[in-house]
Amino acid sequence: MEVPILKQGEVLIATFQAALSDADLNQLRMGLVQQVVKFRSRAVIVDVTAMDVMDSFASRTLREIALMIRLRGAETVIVGIQPEVAFAMVQLGLTLEGVATALDLEEGLAYLNEKFKTTN
Amino acid sequence: MSVGDIRVAINSDQDIVLARQRGRVMAAELGFSTGDATLIAAAISELARNIISYARNGEITLKMVNGLNRQGISVIATDDGPGIPDIRQALRDGFSTSGSLGLGLPGVRRLMDEFEITSQPGRGTIVAVKKWKQ
């Protein structure tokens, strides 16, 4: 199941579906980095609201996406981690350290707007 | 209530998703809360991932279990891969999760109520975990 990537001005928004295989995640990683380059995007929001489980692979891939996109000079925000998913992640020792997170899409966009304001 | 056993063959990354979805559905059928069903699904995901990473092929069996005055779910991950030479090390935090090695076993142990592991180098590994309904 491919992850749709939506272009909204200078921001790319990728919305996860419930069940993503490792192959889907790898494809998303490549797709996002390529599109950030193509559209000269300043930020990426990854919306994981629908995701059923964030296991070690998914969490590592998200972290890699954020680091790769930072190297391109853009920001990444992960939004919509559900409370029970967050609980399971912490038990598994998956902390997404160094990656920006926000409650939902709206908060994610607000966070980026603030960030853009201060850098402009 | 009674729910039949489910066996999921683990041969590819797609099967990891399938196994955890089956586990979540079974947990819901058994009356686990959504939160607990997520924890069970996360544990299944890590166990299935270990099979793919270390043994390539294996199986996850999901069963309803009855204890004294309580009901739970049992998840058994079996493979005939290389086995774990040092189980104590594999159960230590930090040995796992971050790098590509990621055994994730200490995390699985925290997610579930009961945890048992048997491994023989060259023969394979069995991880059996249980979670009881609150």
Which secondary-structure segment (H or E) carries A77?
A: strand A75-79
Average pLDDT over residues A98-118: 93
Q: What's the pLDDT at B87?
A: 85
Indicate the pairing of strand B114-120 with strand A43-47. unpaired
B49/A20 CB distance under 8 A: no
Q: How wide is the angle at C-alpha B113 spanned by C-alphas B58 and B54, nearest 5°?
A: 25
State which residue of chain A sits closest to B111, comparing Cα positions. A91
- CA torsion sign for B78, B16, B65, B113 is positive
**Chain A residues touching B16 at Cβ < 8 A:** 21-22, 55
Maximum distance among all Cα pairs of chain A, rounded to whole angstroms: 39
Token pair 């979540």: residue: B24
B14 pLDDT more than 60:
yes
pLDDT of residue A6: 93
Domain ranges, residue A64: 5-119
Among A66, A74, A64, smallest CA distance to A37 is for: A74
- The rounded distance, in Å, linking the Cα atoms of B72 and B44 is 15
- Judged against a pLDDT cut of 80, whether residue A1 lies above it is answered with no
pLDDT of residue A120: 59
Kindly state the greatest CA–CA separation across chain B.
41
ipTM of the shown complex: 0.88
Local structure of A109: helix, strand or coil? helix
Note whether A94 contacts B97, CB cutoff 8 Å: yes
Closest C-alpha to A103, from A77, A69, A67, A76: A77
**Looking at residue B101, what is its pLDDT?**
46
- CATH superfamily for B6-132 is Histidine kinase-like ATPase, C-terminal domain (3.30.565.10)
Q: Which of these ranges, A3-7, A38-42, A96-100, B87-91, has the smallest mean pLDDT?
A: B87-91
pLDDT (0 to 100) of residue B98: 43
Residue B57 three-state SS: coil
How many domains are there within chain A? 1
Averaged pLDDT, B30-58? 95
Question: Residue B93, Cβ neighbours under 10 Å: how many?
Answer: 12
What is the CATH number for A56?
3.30.750.24
Tell me what pLDDT residue A32 has.
94
Residue range B32-43: mean pLDDT, rounded:
96
Whole-prediction pTM value?
0.91
How many contacts (CB atoms, under 8 Å) link A and B?
77
Cβ–Cβ gap A56/B24 under 8 Å: no
